[in-house]
Chains A and B, each alone.
Chain A
């Protein structure tokens, strides 16, 4: 059967130019109107290690980076041998045959070897070792029968006019690889239906979160470097001149969040980003944002924990950390975006909820979601910025109550500098003016009133959130339940299971706090349930029971640092049904 999707893996050591090779391939494909999804498996080293980048391409929407590899570009001998086992029957390995001499006994007979004598191919052009990647990529473009002109354009854009010589060299080298493949390698049975008029954007979750922040009017971003959230810091920094955003790398995450609270108090939309360790340092100040009713968006891109854990691997084990962040009771929103596209829209939503309800909003991403590249449809850029109720001028009765008691619990905000609105924001408990009630005489009546006021906001937020929907047939035998970045892989598994006449549907939970009561109704109507989570203890499963009393029957937990594969999900479902 002719395949309509292709999985490419580029494997080597850190510093071999894997990322740029992968990104170039991604751009060549997306500009040909193809969909793709890429995942980068790496370690916490700057040079060396076992690194690979895997990209799956198709003319249909791609939901995972795939299991088996169709084409491997091996950049050294060790990676050649290590990655052989992951190649699909009929797949091929492209490699520099000057450097790599494969032990043919170790290569499965149904794998096609595509040796590239790089020295000979480029002997008239250049000698840079990274050029072997370009040769291989040129060859691959031929094997996939893609238009070479598309590759040439990507190279032209990458080097630009400033690096004319490097651009020329790479163009010649890639063409030489392309021509070599045409003469020396067999045809492969793939059909990638290109559509050159429909160029698709490709971006990572971190880039989508960042772009969402720009659309939302975020003017201050602070962070301390931490994988896998650093991509946001780098990307927003690189675009700060264009966007006019102040991007501040501070001395630690405590400074980061307190600075952002200060900037937000002054009236600028503010966001911070980190991973679990940094989030732990931020927790006290998340309570400060809650208590002072200062809007703030906090991104926690989860990685394997606890402690330093797995710095370059993915996990979904900070759910309780987010829900329970900071001492005491205060309103907060926790949103888990599911896809790259959802990262964009969720960030805008987070800013609007933060401003409208004057509270901290936590966005839970993870390493896989933050760092993987995905093709998307064009976003809707009609960004709606809702800053909530703001007092712009001197109140008529001359008494501004910053924490005024209202029917929704939301008190109109004033930014410092606004005539007639002087007030105190205090981490201590306070009255409706902001005056401290914790010293000298603690006022139990006021304490109750002001706590009720703050917590009242949660009920109104619930009304603003879209109602969760069940995907798939209503009366399925098994309901899959999930949150965050597992969305795509579950949606990819579902048609595979339907083909086997296994009856399933899917409930994906995006809003973890406030917890939506309609979820209980959906679960109670289900025939059987399976929770799928990237953690050990089943944090969402426990949260559901806590919020609804409902107990999920089956579970599939994964905590090896890698994202889920379709096989793991389909096998589990088959076991149950």
Chain B
């Protein structure tokens, strides 16, 4: 294994992806690999964190540290890694079931904190690994194994949630447009603060509605419309566009202060680097309070 990564092949692990041929997640993987290569980030300083689901297997396919945790819990593990060592580049990944279903609470709270990490969600509107039930982003009326008469729930809108919850880089990519996806991924990785990349990543096996074709007919780029990503009100309006026209690109970008910047405990550098030879003296001093 090389530590000095320069070529895209250096960021690839020896594990071959297990996804179905044509899966949108291949493009997401490629987008991350391209972004890492362009930014020349040392593999040893990158931690990929994921939950459980088809897309969460992505950590295995990248030559970086990986933490492949529990279903829905990528965000708190990723946040904890930042607390432990905020010199690391932390990328949390997963699917829509993982992040917007079981892990929705963590998603919102992490954005509220504006923790400096990138969250890439491979959104395909179904649970793929458990063979095709409706996910939280499934459209109302969607027919799946678990909703044979159509889903009765409104879908979660991750872009709108991000905008009202305090994330400072909110974007959507499409697996059918790799160059664009790689570009917004790269910008997310260089953004300071919580960055969301929600990727329309078709499930070719279980979602026969939101196919590449269906999406391609609808997506358009926000930058082509000269959308101003500093305009939060406009971004919220754009977040509600779906079905007829679907915007991709950067909805919002702010430069608010991060959690790590304000946390007093991190002012003296990463926790992992703190000395441990003075702890008894510290306690001895504090013990005086109890007398």
Contacting residue for B60 out of A241, A261, A435, CB 8 A: A435
Please tell me if the beta carbons of B109 and A240 are within 8 angstroms of each other in the complex: no
Please tell me if the beta carbons of B76 and A250 are within 8 angstroms of each other in the complex: yes
Please tell me if the beta carbons of B43 and A219 are within 8 angstroms of each other in the complex: no
Contacts A214-B286, A427-B69; A387 near B276 (Cβ below 8 A): yes
Question: Does B26 reach chain A (CB closer than 8 Å)?
Answer: no
Please tell me if the beta carbons of A201 and B84 are within 8 angstroms of each other in the complex: no
Contacting residue for A422 out of B52, B63, B79, CB 8 A: B63
Please tell me if the beta carbons of A268 and B77 are within 8 angstroms of each other in the complex: no
Within 8 A of B (CB), among A225-244: 239-244
Question: Does B148 reach chain A (CB closer than 8 Å)?
Answer: no
Name the residue of chain A whose CB is nearest to the CB of B108: A251
Please tell me if the beta carbons of B265 and A244 are within 8 angstroms of each other in the complex: yes
Contacts A214-B279, A378-B287, A381-B280; A261 near B265 (Cβ below 8 A): no
Within 8 A of A (CB), among B184-208: none
At the interface with chain B, which of A82-90, A252-260, A532-540, A569-577?
Answer: A252-260
Question: Does B244 reach chain A (CB closer than 8 Å)?
Answer: no
Please tell me if the beta carbons of A266 and B291 are within 8 angstroms of each other in the complex: no
Please tell me if the beta carbons of A251 and B105 are within 8 angstroms of each other in the complex: yes
Which of B47, B80, B277 is packed against the most chain A CB atoms within 10 Å? Answer: B80
Question: Does B236 reach chain A (CB closer than 8 Å)?
Answer: no
Cβ contacts under 8 Å, A246 to chain B: 83, 263, 265-266, 271
Question: Does B73 reach chain A (CB closer than 8 Å)?
Answer: yes
- Kindly provide the distance from the CB of B154 to the nearest chain A CB, expressed in whole angstroms: 23
Contacts A381-B283, A381-B287; A241 near B264 (Cβ below 8 A): yes
- Kindly provide the distance from the CB of A432 to the nearest chain B CB, expressed in whole angstroms: 15
Give A426-455 as 1s and 0s: 1 = Cβ < 8 Å from B's Cβ atoms. 111000001110011000000000000000
Cβ contacts under 8 Å, B284 to chain A: 381
Please tell me if the beta carbons of B60 and A265 are within 8 angstroms of each other in the complex: no
Count chain B residues whose beta carbon lies closer than 8 angstroms to a beta carbon of A: 59
Contacting residue for B264 out of A202, A217, A240, A259, CB 8 A: A240
Cβ contacts under 8 Å, B263 to chain A: 246
At the interface with chain B, which of A185-193, A284-292, A522-530?
Answer: A284-292
Please tell me if the beta carbons of B84 and A207 are within 8 angstroms of each other in the complex: no
Give B61-105 as 1s and 0s: 1 = Cβ < 8 Å from A's Cβ atoms. 001111111100101111111111101100000000000000001
Question: Does B106 reach chain A (CB closer than 8 Å)?
Answer: yes
Contacting residue for B18 out of A202, A255, A258, A440, CB 8 A: A440
Question: Does B15 reach chain A (CB closer than 8 Å)?
Answer: yes
Contacting residue for B73 out of A248, A285, A416, CB 8 A: A285
In the bound complex, how far is the Cα of B280 from the Cα of A242, in angstroms?
Answer: 13
Contacts A246-B265, A381-B283; A266 near B81 (Cβ below 8 A): yes
- Kindly provide the distance from the CB of A247 to the nearest chain B CB, expressed in whole angstroms: 7
Please tell me if the beta carbons of B1 and A245 are within 8 angstroms of each other in the complex: no
Name the residue of chain A whose CB is nearest to the CB of B129: A439
Question: Does A423 reach chain B (CB closer than 8 Å)?
Answer: yes
- Kindly provide the distance from the CB of B88 to the nearest chain A CB, expressed in whole angstroms: 6
Contacting residue for A255 out of B15, B63, B109, CB 8 A: B109
Cβ contacts under 8 Å, A251 to chain B: 105-106, 109
Please tell me if the beta carbons of B67 and A216 are within 8 angstroms of each other in the complex: no
Within 8 A of A (CB), among B249-286: 263-266, 268, 270-272, 274, 276-277, 279-284, 286
In the bound complex, how far is the Cα of B68 from the Cα of A288, in angstroms?
Answer: 10
Please tell me if the beta carbons of B105 and A419 are within 8 angstroms of each other in the complex: no
Name the residue of chain B whose CB is nearest to the CB of A256: B76
In the bound complex, how far is the Cα of B76 from the Cα of A219, in angstroms?
Answer: 17
Contacts A31-B291, A262-B49, A422-B63; A417 near B80 (Cβ below 8 A): no
In the bound complex, how far is the Cα of B45 from the Cα of A378, in angstroms?
Answer: 43
In the bound complex, how far is the Cα of B43 from the Cα of A385, in angstroms?
Answer: 30
Question: Does A166 reach chain B (CB closer than 8 Å)?
Answer: no
Question: Does A277 reach chain B (CB closer than 8 Å)?
Answer: no
In the bound complex, how far is the Cα of B290 from the Cα of A439, in angstroms?
Answer: 55
Please tell me if the beta carbons of B290 and A417 are within 8 angstroms of each other in the complex: no
Question: Does A203 reach chain B (CB closer than 8 Å)?
Answer: yes
Contacts A427-B52, A427-B68; A254 near B85 (Cβ below 8 A): no
Contacting residue for B85 out of A200, A267, A420, CB 8 A: A267
Question: Does A517 reach chain B (CB closer than 8 Å)?
Answer: no
Please tell me if the beta carbons of A243 and B87 are within 8 angstroms of each other in the complex: no
In the bound complex, how far is the Cα of B272 from the Cα of A417, in angstroms?
Answer: 11
Question: Given A255-B79, A382-B280, 12 more contacts at CB 8 Å?
Answer: A244-B268, A267-B85, A270-B84, A381-B287, A416-B44, A416-B88, A420-B1, A420-B44, A426-B59, A426-B66, A427-B69, A435-B15
25 A-B contacts, Cβ less than 8 Å apart?
A200-B291, A201-B290, A239-B286, A246-B83, A246-B271, A247-B265, A254-B106, A256-B76, A259-B76, A262-B79, A263-B84, A265-B81, A268-B85, A285-B73, A379-B287, A381-B280, A381-B283, A383-B280, A415-B272, A416-B85, A416-B88, A423-B66, A424-B66, A425-B67, A426-B67
B residues in contact (CB < 8 Å) with A: 1, 3, 15, 18, 43-45, 47, 49, 52, 57, 59-60, 63-70, 73, 75-85, 87-88, 105-106, 109, 263-266, 268, 270-272, 274, 276-277, 279-284, 286-287, 290-291
